[in-house]
Protein backbone atom coordinates (compact mmCIF):
# COMPACT_ATOMS: atom_id res chain seq x y z
CA UNK A 1 0.00 0.00 0.00
CA UNK A 2 1.04 3.60 -0.61
CA UNK A 3 1.93 5.84 2.33
CA UNK A 4 -0.63 8.47 3.35
CA UNK A 5 0.19 11.72 5.14
CA UNK A 6 -1.70 14.72 6.49
CA UNK A 7 -0.70 18.12 5.11
CA UNK A 8 -3.55 20.39 6.21
CA UNK A 9 -6.14 20.68 8.98
CA UNK A 10 -9.12 22.89 9.72
CA UNK A 11 -11.57 23.13 12.60
CA UNK A 12 -14.66 24.91 13.84
CA UNK A 13 -15.19 24.04 17.49
CA UNK A 14 -16.47 25.16 20.90
CA UNK A 15 -12.82 25.90 21.78
CA UNK A 16 -11.99 28.01 18.75
CA UNK A 17 -12.52 28.31 15.03
CA UNK A 18 -9.00 27.59 13.87
CA UNK A 19 -6.48 24.90 14.77
CA UNK A 20 -4.12 27.20 16.67
CA UNK A 21 -6.84 28.52 19.01
CA UNK A 22 -8.40 25.08 19.43
CA UNK A 23 -5.06 23.53 20.42
CA UNK A 24 -4.08 26.41 22.71
CA UNK A 25 -7.34 26.02 24.64
CA UNK A 26 -7.07 22.23 24.78
CA UNK A 27 -3.64 22.19 26.36
CA UNK A 28 -4.75 24.97 28.74
CA UNK A 29 -7.57 22.70 29.95
CA UNK A 30 -10.28 25.18 29.01
CA UNK A 31 -13.91 24.04 28.87
CA UNK A 32 -16.16 25.03 25.97
CA UNK A 33 -19.36 24.08 27.82
CA UNK A 34 -21.79 26.89 28.55
CA UNK A 35 -25.30 27.54 29.81
CA UNK A 36 -27.97 27.35 27.10
CA UNK A 37 -29.90 30.57 26.64
CA UNK A 38 -33.42 30.96 25.31
CA UNK A 39 -36.93 30.06 26.41
CA UNK A 40 -37.02 27.13 24.00
CA UNK A 41 -34.60 25.26 26.29
CA UNK A 42 -36.38 26.21 29.53
CA UNK A 43 -38.31 23.00 30.15
CA UNK A 44 -35.51 20.59 29.21
CA UNK A 45 -33.74 18.85 32.06
CA UNK A 46 -30.31 19.55 30.56
CA UNK A 47 -29.56 23.27 30.27
CA UNK A 48 -25.98 23.18 28.98
CA UNK A 49 -24.06 22.49 25.76
CA UNK A 50 -20.69 23.12 24.10
CA UNK A 51 -22.02 25.42 21.41
CA UNK A 52 -20.25 27.77 19.00
CA UNK A 53 -20.79 31.48 19.52
CA UNK A 54 -18.34 33.35 17.32
CA UNK A 55 -18.46 31.63 13.92
CA UNK A 56 -18.16 34.26 11.18
CA UNK A 57 -19.50 32.64 8.04
CA UNK A 58 -18.82 35.78 5.99
CA UNK A 59 -15.11 34.92 6.24
CA UNK A 60 -15.83 31.90 4.03
CA UNK A 61 -19.07 32.56 2.12
CA UNK A 62 -21.10 35.52 0.95
CA UNK A 63 -23.92 36.01 3.50
CA UNK A 64 -26.61 35.65 0.81
CA UNK A 65 -25.20 32.28 -0.27
CA UNK A 66 -24.64 31.12 3.31
CA UNK A 67 -28.34 31.58 4.14
CA UNK A 68 -29.22 28.81 1.69
CA UNK A 69 -27.14 26.20 3.47
CA UNK A 70 -27.53 24.50 6.82
CA UNK A 71 -25.08 25.35 9.57
CA UNK A 72 -23.40 21.94 9.40
CA UNK A 73 -22.53 22.63 5.73
CA UNK A 74 -21.16 26.05 6.62
CA UNK A 75 -18.99 24.57 9.36
CA UNK A 76 -17.67 21.85 7.04
CA UNK A 77 -16.82 24.28 4.26
CA UNK A 78 -15.01 26.62 6.64
CA UNK A 79 -12.91 23.77 8.07
CA UNK A 80 -12.18 22.45 4.56
CA UNK A 81 -10.92 25.85 3.39
CA UNK A 82 -8.65 26.07 6.43
CA UNK A 83 -7.22 22.63 5.64
CA UNK A 84 -6.62 23.54 2.00
CA UNK A 85 -4.96 26.80 3.02
CA UNK A 86 -2.61 25.09 5.47
CA UNK A 87 -1.77 22.46 2.85
CA UNK A 88 -1.09 25.28 0.36
CA UNK A 89 -3.10 23.54 -2.33
CA UNK A 90 -3.13 25.36 -5.66
CA UNK A 91 -6.59 24.76 -7.08
CA UNK A 92 -5.38 25.88 -10.50
CA UNK A 93 -2.68 23.24 -10.86
CA UNK A 94 -3.72 20.21 -8.80
CA UNK A 95 -5.25 17.32 -10.77
CA UNK A 96 -8.83 17.63 -9.52
CA UNK A 97 -9.84 14.27 -10.98
CA UNK A 98 -7.48 12.64 -8.46
CA UNK A 99 -8.76 14.57 -5.41
CA UNK A 100 -11.83 13.52 -3.42
CA UNK A 101 -14.00 14.67 -0.52
CA UNK A 102 -15.01 12.27 2.29
CA UNK A 103 -17.00 14.33 4.81
CA UNK A 104 -19.90 12.92 6.82
CA UNK A 105 -22.40 14.01 9.42
CA UNK A 106 -24.19 11.98 12.05
CA UNK A 107 -27.40 14.02 11.86
CA UNK A 108 -27.14 16.36 8.87
CA UNK A 109 -29.19 19.51 8.43
CA UNK A 110 -31.53 19.29 11.38
CA UNK A 111 -31.84 23.08 11.76
CA UNK A 112 -33.02 23.37 8.17
CA UNK A 113 -35.45 20.47 8.60
CA UNK A 114 -37.00 21.72 11.83
CA UNK A 115 -37.16 25.37 10.78
CA UNK A 116 -39.01 24.37 7.63
CA UNK A 117 -41.30 22.03 9.53
CA UNK A 118 -42.36 25.02 11.63
CA UNK A 119 -42.93 27.07 8.47
CA UNK A 120 -44.98 24.22 6.99
CA UNK A 121 -47.13 23.99 10.13
CA UNK A 122 -47.69 27.72 10.52
CA UNK A 123 -47.59 29.14 6.99
CA UNK A 124 -48.36 26.22 4.69
CA UNK A 125 -46.50 24.13 2.10
CA UNK A 126 -45.96 26.93 -0.37
CA UNK A 127 -43.65 28.73 2.05
CA UNK A 128 -41.31 25.77 2.55
CA UNK A 129 -37.82 26.52 1.23
CA UNK A 130 -36.81 24.92 -2.07
CA UNK A 131 -33.43 24.39 -0.38
CA UNK A 132 -34.97 22.18 2.34
CA UNK A 133 -34.15 18.79 0.84
CA UNK A 134 -30.74 19.60 -0.69
CA UNK A 135 -29.42 21.15 2.53
CA UNK A 136 -30.87 18.80 5.14
CA UNK A 137 -29.39 15.62 3.65
CA UNK A 138 -26.18 14.38 5.23
CA UNK A 139 -24.12 14.16 2.05
CA UNK A 140 -24.43 17.81 1.12
CA UNK A 141 -21.38 19.01 3.05
CA UNK A 142 -19.26 16.76 0.83
CA UNK A 143 -21.27 17.72 -2.25
CA UNK A 144 -21.05 21.45 -1.59
CA UNK A 145 -17.29 21.30 -1.03
CA UNK A 146 -16.75 19.44 -4.31
CA UNK A 147 -18.79 22.09 -6.12
CA UNK A 148 -16.77 24.91 -4.56
CA UNK A 149 -13.36 23.30 -5.13
CA UNK A 150 -14.02 21.44 -8.36
CA UNK A 151 -12.63 18.19 -6.93
CA UNK A 152 -13.90 15.35 -9.14
CA UNK A 153 -12.43 12.31 -7.46
CA UNK A 154 -14.57 10.08 -5.23
CA UNK A 155 -16.90 11.74 -2.74
CA UNK A 156 -18.40 9.95 0.22
CA UNK A 157 -20.49 10.92 3.23
CA UNK A 158 -20.47 8.29 5.98
CA UNK A 159 -23.29 8.39 8.53
CA UNK A 160 -22.12 6.29 11.45
CA UNK A 161 -23.13 8.40 14.43
CA UNK A 162 -20.17 9.32 16.64
CA UNK A 163 -17.76 7.24 14.50
CA UNK A 164 -18.51 9.30 11.37
CA UNK A 165 -15.42 11.54 11.35
CA UNK A 166 -12.99 8.68 11.95
CA UNK A 167 -14.70 6.51 9.38
CA UNK A 168 -14.39 9.29 6.79
CA UNK A 169 -10.67 9.67 7.54
CA UNK A 170 -10.08 5.91 7.62
CA UNK A 171 -11.86 5.23 4.35
CA UNK A 172 -10.04 8.17 2.72
CA UNK A 173 -6.75 6.70 3.96
CA UNK A 174 -7.56 3.34 2.36
CA UNK A 175 -8.72 4.98 -0.88
CA UNK A 176 -5.42 6.81 -1.27
CA UNK A 177 -3.32 3.90 -0.03
CA UNK A 178 -4.82 1.62 -2.68
CA UNK A 179 -4.23 4.15 -5.45
CA UNK A 180 -7.75 5.32 -6.25
CA UNK A 181 -6.98 8.95 -5.33
CA UNK A 182 -3.94 11.10 -4.66
CA UNK A 183 -5.54 13.38 -2.07
CA UNK A 184 -8.82 13.64 -0.14
CA UNK A 185 -10.42 16.18 2.18
CA UNK A 186 -11.74 14.03 5.02
CA UNK A 187 -13.64 14.62 8.24
CA UNK A 188 -17.03 15.32 9.75
CA UNK A 189 -19.40 18.13 10.61
CA UNK A 190 -22.30 18.56 13.01
CA UNK A 191 -24.69 21.30 14.14
CA UNK A 192 -27.09 19.68 16.60
CA UNK A 193 -27.51 22.25 19.36
CA UNK A 194 -31.28 22.55 18.98
CA UNK A 195 -34.07 22.19 21.56
CA UNK A 196 -35.39 19.01 19.94
CA UNK A 197 -32.04 17.21 19.87
CA UNK A 198 -31.18 18.31 23.39
CA UNK A 199 -34.63 17.11 24.52
CA UNK A 200 -34.18 13.79 22.72
CA UNK A 201 -30.81 13.03 24.30
CA UNK A 202 -32.14 14.25 27.64
CA UNK A 203 -35.06 11.83 27.46
CA UNK A 204 -32.52 9.03 26.88
CA UNK A 205 -30.91 10.09 30.16
CA UNK A 206 -27.67 10.32 28.22
CA UNK A 207 -26.81 13.93 29.09
CA UNK A 208 -25.21 15.53 32.11
CA UNK A 209 -27.57 17.65 34.21
CA UNK A 210 -24.81 19.53 36.02
CA UNK A 211 -26.48 22.78 34.94
CA UNK A 212 -25.07 24.98 37.70
CA UNK A 213 -21.47 24.15 36.79
CA UNK A 214 -21.36 23.89 32.97
CA UNK A 215 -17.58 23.85 32.74
CA UNK A 216 -17.46 20.87 35.13
CA UNK A 217 -20.23 18.85 33.48
CA UNK A 218 -18.16 16.81 31.01
CA UNK A 219 -16.10 14.50 33.22
CA UNK A 220 -15.00 11.31 31.48
CA UNK A 221 -13.72 8.50 33.72
CA UNK A 222 -14.74 10.39 36.87
CA UNK A 223 -16.71 8.53 39.53
CA UNK A 224 -19.35 11.27 39.57
CA UNK A 225 -19.90 11.59 35.82
CA UNK A 226 -23.56 11.71 34.83
CA UNK A 227 -23.60 11.73 31.04
CA UNK A 228 -22.13 13.57 28.07
CA UNK A 229 -22.49 17.17 26.94
CA UNK A 230 -23.72 18.00 23.43
CA UNK A 231 -21.13 19.76 21.27
CA UNK A 232 -20.92 20.88 17.64
CA UNK A 233 -18.51 21.93 14.91
CA UNK A 234 -16.43 20.46 12.09
CA UNK A 235 -12.99 18.98 11.60
CA UNK A 236 -11.38 18.39 8.19
CA UNK A 237 -7.97 16.96 7.25
CA UNK A 238 -6.24 17.07 3.87
CA UNK A 239 -4.80 13.61 3.26
CA UNK A 240 -2.24 12.97 0.53
CA UNK A 241 -0.20 10.16 -0.88
CA UNK A 242 3.32 10.67 0.45
CA UNK A 243 5.10 11.09 -2.91
CA UNK A 244 2.37 13.45 -4.11
CA UNK A 245 2.89 15.64 -1.04
CA UNK A 246 6.68 15.41 -1.30
CA UNK A 247 6.74 16.32 -4.99
CA UNK A 248 4.80 19.52 -4.44
CA UNK A 249 6.88 20.50 -1.41
CA UNK A 250 4.08 20.20 1.12
CA UNK A 251 4.71 20.44 4.85
CA UNK A 252 3.81 17.03 6.30
CA UNK A 253 2.09 17.15 9.69
CA UNK A 254 1.76 13.43 10.45
CA UNK A 255 1.38 10.05 8.79
CA UNK A 256 -1.67 7.80 8.96
CA UNK A 257 -0.45 4.24 9.37
CA UNK A 258 -3.54 2.22 10.26
CA UNK A 259 -7.32 2.05 10.44
CA UNK A 260 -9.67 -0.35 12.15
CA UNK A 261 -13.42 -0.47 11.57
CA UNK A 262 -15.81 -2.90 13.29
CA UNK A 263 -19.39 -3.27 14.47
CA UNK A 264 -20.62 -4.48 17.86
CA UNK A 265 -23.84 -6.08 16.52
CA UNK A 266 -25.08 -5.76 20.07
CA UNK A 267 -27.40 -2.84 21.00
CA UNK A 268 -28.62 0.47 19.58
CA UNK A 269 -26.85 2.54 22.25
CA UNK A 270 -24.98 0.33 24.75
CA UNK A 271 -21.42 -0.65 23.74
CA UNK A 272 -19.81 -4.07 23.67
CA UNK A 273 -16.15 -3.57 24.56
CA UNK A 274 -15.09 -6.39 22.24
CA UNK A 275 -16.03 -4.37 19.14
CA UNK A 276 -13.91 -1.41 20.26
CA UNK A 277 -11.04 -3.72 21.17
CA UNK A 278 -11.10 -5.37 17.74
CA UNK A 279 -11.08 -1.97 15.99
CA UNK A 280 -7.96 -0.98 17.92
CA UNK A 281 -6.35 -4.35 17.16
CA UNK A 282 -7.05 -3.95 13.44
CA UNK A 283 -5.62 -0.43 13.36
CA UNK A 284 -2.47 -1.58 15.14
CA UNK A 285 -2.10 -4.61 12.86
CA UNK A 286 -2.48 -2.48 9.73
CA UNK A 287 0.14 -0.11 11.14
CA UNK A 288 2.53 -3.06 11.32
CA UNK A 289 3.49 -2.45 14.94
CA UNK A 290 2.99 -4.26 18.23
CA UNK A 291 0.64 -2.82 20.88
CA UNK A 292 3.53 -1.83 23.15
CA UNK A 293 4.68 0.68 20.51
CA UNK A 294 1.55 2.81 20.99
CA UNK A 295 2.29 5.76 23.28
CA UNK A 296 -1.00 7.64 23.50
CA UNK A 297 -4.73 7.16 22.92
CA UNK A 298 -7.13 10.01 22.37
CA UNK A 299 -10.09 8.18 23.86
CA UNK A 300 -13.67 8.26 22.66
CA UNK A 301 -14.69 8.68 26.34
CA UNK A 302 -17.85 10.78 26.42
CA UNK A 303 -18.55 10.73 30.16
CA UNK A 304 -21.36 8.18 30.18
CA UNK A 305 -21.38 5.65 33.03
CA UNK A 306 -21.22 2.59 30.75
CA UNK A 307 -19.18 3.95 27.84
CA UNK A 308 -16.07 4.95 29.76
CA UNK A 309 -15.90 1.62 31.58
CA UNK A 310 -16.36 -0.24 28.30
CA UNK A 311 -13.55 1.66 26.58
CA UNK A 312 -11.23 1.10 29.56
CA UNK A 313 -12.00 -2.61 29.39
CA UNK A 314 -11.30 -2.61 25.64
CA UNK A 315 -7.93 -0.89 26.13
CA UNK A 316 -6.94 -3.48 28.73
CA UNK A 317 -8.03 -6.27 26.37
CA UNK A 318 -5.78 -4.94 23.60
CA UNK A 319 -2.75 -3.73 25.55
CA UNK A 320 -2.61 -6.02 28.61
CA UNK A 321 0.04 -4.70 31.03
CA UNK A 322 1.04 -1.95 28.59
CA UNK A 323 -2.40 -0.41 29.21
CA UNK A 324 -1.06 0.85 32.53
CA UNK A 325 1.93 2.53 30.84
CA UNK A 326 -0.12 4.19 28.12
CA UNK A 327 -1.15 7.82 28.27
CA UNK A 328 -4.87 8.25 27.58
CA UNK A 329 -6.98 11.39 27.57
CA UNK A 330 -10.44 12.56 26.61
CA UNK A 331 -10.61 15.94 24.90
CA UNK A 332 -14.40 15.66 25.07
CA UNK A 333 -13.98 16.79 28.67
CA UNK A 334 -13.41 20.21 27.06
CA UNK A 335 -15.18 20.15 23.68
CA UNK A 336 -18.24 18.17 24.66
CA UNK A 337 -19.37 15.50 22.21
CA UNK A 338 -19.24 16.84 18.66
CA UNK A 339 -20.93 13.68 17.32
CA UNK A 340 -20.13 13.25 13.61
CA UNK A 341 -17.35 15.83 13.89
CA UNK A 342 -15.82 14.33 17.05
CA UNK A 343 -13.46 11.85 15.40
CA UNK A 344 -12.04 14.45 13.04
CA UNK A 345 -11.61 17.05 15.79
CA UNK A 346 -9.86 14.47 17.94
CA UNK A 347 -7.65 13.34 15.05
CA UNK A 348 -6.52 16.96 14.78
CA UNK A 349 -5.83 17.06 18.52
CA UNK A 350 -3.86 13.80 18.24
CA UNK A 351 -1.76 15.14 15.37
CA UNK A 352 -0.98 18.27 17.39
CA UNK A 353 0.07 15.99 20.27
CA UNK A 354 2.45 14.18 17.95
CA UNK A 355 3.84 17.45 16.62
CA UNK A 356 4.28 19.25 19.93
CA UNK A 357 4.90 16.20 22.15
CA UNK A 358 2.19 17.39 24.53
CA UNK A 359 -0.81 15.40 25.71
CA UNK A 360 -3.97 17.41 26.45
CA UNK A 361 -5.64 16.61 29.77
CA UNK A 362 -8.86 15.00 30.83
CA UNK A 363 -10.28 17.84 32.88
CA UNK A 364 -12.78 17.36 35.70
CA UNK A 365 -11.25 14.00 36.61
CA UNK A 366 -11.42 14.68 40.34
CA UNK A 367 -12.22 11.20 41.65
CA UNK A 368 -11.49 8.35 39.23
CA UNK A 369 -14.05 5.59 38.84
CA UNK A 370 -12.51 2.45 40.41
CA UNK A 371 -13.32 0.60 37.18
CA UNK A 372 -11.40 3.24 35.21
CA UNK A 373 -7.92 2.80 36.65
CA UNK A 374 -5.58 3.76 33.80
CA UNK A 375 -3.55 6.95 33.28
CA UNK A 376 -6.03 9.46 31.83
CA UNK A 377 -3.75 12.52 32.22
CA UNK A 378 -6.01 14.26 34.76
CA UNK A 379 -6.47 18.02 34.92
CA UNK A 380 -3.27 19.27 33.28
CA UNK A 381 -1.49 18.74 29.96
CA UNK A 382 1.84 16.95 30.13
CA UNK A 383 4.92 16.66 27.95
CA UNK A 384 5.57 13.14 26.67
CA UNK A 385 7.48 11.22 24.02
CA UNK A 386 4.86 10.22 21.47
CA UNK A 387 5.74 8.42 18.24
CA UNK A 388 2.53 6.47 17.60
CA UNK A 389 -0.99 7.31 18.77
CA UNK A 390 -4.53 6.04 18.33
CA UNK A 391 -7.68 8.12 18.03
CA UNK A 392 -10.84 6.22 19.01
CA UNK A 393 -14.42 6.86 17.91
CA UNK A 394 -17.38 4.65 18.79
CA UNK A 395 -20.98 5.39 17.81
CA UNK A 396 -24.59 4.50 18.52
CA UNK A 397 -25.56 1.41 16.56
CA UNK A 398 -22.25 -0.24 17.46
CA UNK A 399 -20.03 1.55 14.93
CA UNK A 400 -16.32 1.57 15.84
CA UNK A 401 -13.55 3.39 13.96
CA UNK A 402 -9.94 3.79 15.11
CA UNK A 403 -7.15 5.72 13.40
CA UNK A 404 -3.44 5.01 13.98
CA UNK A 405 -1.16 8.02 13.51
CA UNK A 406 2.62 8.39 13.49
CA UNK A 407 4.85 11.35 14.19
CA UNK A 408 6.53 12.61 11.04
Shared-domain flag, residues 217 and 341: no
Between CA 240 and CA 223 the distance in angstroms is: 42
Shared-domain flag, residues 135 and 222: yes
Annotated catalytic sites, by residue? 162, 300, 337
- Residue 26's pLDDT is what? 98
Between CA 50 and CA 139 the distance in angstroms is: 24
Measured distance between the N- and C-terminal CA atoms of the chain, rounded to whole angstroms: 18
Residue 369 lies in a domain: yes
Shared-domain flag, residues 206 and 320: no
- Residue 303's pLDDT is what? 97
Show which of 217, 247, 277 is a domain's final residue: 247
The answer to whether 384 and 248 have CB atoms below 8 angstroms apart is no
> What single string gives the DSSP state of each residue in 57-91?
GGGTS-HHHHTTS-HHHHHHHHHHHHHHHHHT--T
Shared-domain flag, residues 289 and 233: no
The answer to whether 153 and 100 have CB atoms below 8 angstroms apart is yes
- Residue 29's pLDDT is what? 98
Global pTM? 0.97
Shared-domain flag, residues 117 and 215: yes
Between CA 8 and CA 85 the distance in angstroms is: 7
Show which of 220, 247, 274 is a domain's final residue: 247
What CATH number does the domain containing 236 carry?
3.40.47.10
Between CA 132 and CA 245 the distance in angstroms is: 39
Domain that holds residue 50: 4-247
C-alpha dist (Å) from residue 126 to 117, 120, 210: 12, 8, 43
- Residue 222's pLDDT is what? 98
Successive 10-residue mean pLDDT values, the chain, 408 residues: 98 98 98 95 96 96 95 98 98 98 97 96 96 96 98 97 98 98 98 96 96 98 98 98 98 98 96 97 98 98 97 98 98 98 98 98 98 98 98 97 98
- Residue 149's pLDDT is what? 98
The answer to whether 213 and 363 have CB atoms below 8 angstroms apart is no
Phi then psi for 196, rounded to 5 degrees? Answer: -70, -45
Q: Tell which phi-psi region holds residue 113, choosing left (phi > 0), alpha (psi between -120 and 50) or beta.
A: alpha
Residue 254 lies in a domain: no
Amino acid sequence: MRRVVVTGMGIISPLGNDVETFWKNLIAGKSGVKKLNGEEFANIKTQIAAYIEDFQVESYLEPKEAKRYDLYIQYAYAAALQALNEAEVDLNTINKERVGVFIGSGVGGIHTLLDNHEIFQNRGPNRVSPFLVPTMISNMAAGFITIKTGFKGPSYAPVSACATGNQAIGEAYLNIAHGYSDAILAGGSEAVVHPLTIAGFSRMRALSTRNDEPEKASRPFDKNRDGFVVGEGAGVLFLEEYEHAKNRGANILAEIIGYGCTTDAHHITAPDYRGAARAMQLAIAMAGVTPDKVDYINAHATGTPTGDVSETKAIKEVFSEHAYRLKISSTKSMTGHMFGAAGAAEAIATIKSLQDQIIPPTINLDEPDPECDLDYVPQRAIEANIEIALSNAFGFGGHNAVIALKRF
